[in-house]
Each structure stands twice: as structure tokens, then as C-alpha cells.
């Protein structure tokens, strides 16, 4: 089926220096892409559409900061019932088209007060706590059956972005974080947040880890940016709602746009 997706995407004359996955509430960046061509996921053979609010389900192809980019406005999640292979399907297709650099963004909750809501976190490493893996199975999409993950989120790229962030207008200084990916869809319990904090996780979310693993196997260079939208349960006294996460993402979207535009302007 991925060959059919490649044939379709090839017919669209898609060219890009970088692909960008837009997480919950971060979709407005797609509207900044000029000369945009929008391709609904529903038109791409084998691709599925997210049922989650805040995920449009379309490729936006065009230019940002004078560079050719593809934005994935919306992603699939395991908690919708999708398999890891379904979640990473479009990213594998784009990598096979020759795109090497990928920015994965998401919304997350913080396990402690060092990462307050409204801040951005640069993902330095992750913990796959979903119990599933997109590399399971017989078909290999990359050269390695057992790919190394020691530099999963490109150290060279991260160092460049941390330096760049100091010259970029952000509400909070950009810091590196360890992201833990869970299945969801429920928010975590206070005990789980305490456990994740003990494990070394700074932020927690319901996406990204499968995408990063699949892309790394295929030799991609990956950057992860998380918009911290809430404190995890028990960090402060509050009731968690998905609508609040979306609003927090929208509130932080300008900082996210500022940072991504700066990255694209100097990284490609």
C-alpha cells in the first residue's frame, strides 16, 4: 500500500527540504506556509484521518522562510485504535520520497514545575511507554533490524536550536526535556506522574515516540519540540480537560511559530 501512496505523492510533484508534524493546537503554523497546496489525507492511498479535535488531516506543501516544506496538519494516535504502522505510514512515505529532516511537534503535560504550561521544550530523548513499537513485524523500511537510538533526536540539531532560541522571542527560555510517550487517551493519574518523574521524564504525551523510532530506522534527522500545555495530575490542584490543552497550544502557538521559522531559516 505504501507504494501506492508514493505513486500518488509523486504525481503531486511534491518537493521539500523538511517535513513538519503539527501537534494538538499547533496547526495555525500551516497557515503561514506560502504558495500552499493542500492535500487531504483522505486522498492519499492507505492514509487514515484522525478523529481528534485539533488535527485537520491534510498535507500542506509550500514555502516557509524561503524553504520548501511539508506540514502534516494532524496526526494519528494509538488511542484512536490505530496501529503503530498506521500512525507512521505517511512519515515513512515522505522519507521514501527523499525528505531527510523532520520536526515532530506535540502537546504535553509536565511532570514538575520546571516546565510550566505555555513553555516549549526541546525533546532530548524519549521513553516509549506505550508497550508497542512500529518496527515490530516482518517488513523492514530501513536498513537496520536493530537500529541504534543513542542519537535519536539529533544532538547537532538540538545544539543549534538551543543557541538559536536565545535570539528568538519566547515567553520562557527553551530547555531540553525527556519525553515519555503513553497510549492514553485518559490523562495520567497522580501516581503515574510521580512514577514518570522518578524515571527521569520531564513531560508526558500521547504521540511522537512511534514516529521518531520509525524515522530513525530509515536514517532521518529528527528534532522534537513539545508545547507544554498543562501540569500533570498532582503537580498542581486542577482538573484536566482536552479543550484546555488545545487552548494552551493555541496560546503558545506564536512562540512555536517564532521558533520553527527561525529554525527553518538557518537549518536548511
Judge whether 206 counts as a catalytic residue: yes
For residue 54, the model assigns a pLDDT of: 56
Judge whether 107 counts as a catalytic residue: yes
For residue 53, the model assigns a pLDDT of: 60
Judge whether 126 counts as a catalytic residue: no
Judge whether 112 counts as a catalytic residue: no
Residues in the chain: 268
Q: What is the dihedral of CA 250, 19, 8, 86, to 10 degrees?
A: -70
Judge whether 55 counts as a catalytic residue: yes
Q: Taking the chain (268 residues) in consecutive chunks of 10 residues, what is each chunk's mean pLDDT?
A: 88 91 81 92 90 76 94 92 95 95 96 94 98 89 87 98 95 97 95 98 98 97 95 84 76 88 83
Residue 205 backbone dihedrals phi, psi, to 5 degrees: -155, 180
First to last CA, the chain: 31
Q: Which of 19, 205, 228, 201 is nearest to 104 (CA)?
A: 19
Residues 6+ apart with CB under 8 A from 64: 32, 33, 34, 260, 261, 264
Catalytically annotated residue among 80, 176, 221, 261: 80
Domains of the chain: 2-267 (3.40.50.1580)
Residue 126 backbone dihedrals phi, psi, to 5 degrees: -140, 165
Catalytically annotated residue among 5, 107, 121, 201: 107
Catalytically annotated residue among 5, 16, 24, 119: 24
Cβ 91 vs Cβ 211: under 8 Å? yes
- Stated pTM of the model: 0.94
Residues 6+ apart with CB under 8 A from 42: 49, 57
For residue 123, the model assigns a pLDDT of: 99
Element (H, E) at 85: helix 84-87
For residue 85, the model assigns a pLDDT of: 95
Catalytically annotated residue among 110, 207, 226, 267: 207
Q: Which of 151, 100, 121 is nearest to 225 (CA)?
A: 121
Catalytically annotated residue among 79, 86, 149, 176: 79
CA atoms within 13 A on the CB side of 248: 22
CA atoms within 13 A on the CB side of 95: 22
For residue 99, the model assigns a pLDDT of: 96
Amino acid at each position: 500500500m505504501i507504494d501506492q501512496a508514493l505513486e500518488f505523492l509523486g504525481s503531486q510533484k511534491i518537493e521539500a527540504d523538511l517535513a513538519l508534524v503539527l501537534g494538538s493546537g499547533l496547526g495555525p503554523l500551516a497557515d503561514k506556509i506560502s504558495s500552499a497546496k493542500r492535500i487531504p489525507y483522505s486522498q492519499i492511498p492507505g492514509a487514515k484521518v484522525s478523529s481528534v479535535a485539533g488535527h485537520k488531516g491534510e498535507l500542506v506543501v509550500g514555502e516557509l522562510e524561503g524553504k520548501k516544506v511539508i506540514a502534516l496538519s494532524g496526526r494519528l494516535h494509538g488511542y484512536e485504535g490505530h496501529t503503530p504502522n498506521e500512525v507512521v505510514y505517511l512519515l515513512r512515505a515522505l522519507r521514501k520520497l527523499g525528505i531527510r529532516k523532520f520536526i515532530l511537534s506535540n502537546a504535553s503535560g509536565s511532570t514538575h514545575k520546571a516546565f510550566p504550561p505555555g513553555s516549549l521544550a526541546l525533546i532530548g530523548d524519549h521513553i516509549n511507554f506505550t508497550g508497542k513499537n512500529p518496527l515490530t513485524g516482518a517488513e523492514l523500511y530501513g536498513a537496520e533490524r536493530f537500529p541504534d537510538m543513542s542519537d535519536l533526536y539529533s544532538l547537532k540539531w538540538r545544539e543549534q536550536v538551543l543557541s538559536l532560541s536565545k535570539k528568538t522571542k519566547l515567553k520562557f527560555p527553551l530547555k531540553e526535556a525527556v519525553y515519555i510517550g503513553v497510549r492514553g487517551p485518559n490523562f495520567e493519574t497522580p501516581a503515574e506522574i510521580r512514577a514518570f518523574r522518578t524515571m527521569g521524564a520531564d513531560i508526558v504525551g500521547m504521540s511522537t515516540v512511534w514516529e521518531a523510532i520509525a524515522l530513525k530506522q530509515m536514517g532521518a534527522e529528527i528534532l522534537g519540540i513539545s508545547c507544554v500545555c498543562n501540569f500533570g495530575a498532582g503537580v498542581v490542584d486542577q482538573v484536566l480537560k482536552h479543550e484546555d490543552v488545545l487552548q494552551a497550544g493555541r496560546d503558545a502557538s506564536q512562540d512555536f511559530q517564532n521558533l520553527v521559522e527561525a529554525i527553518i531559516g538557518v537549518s536548511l
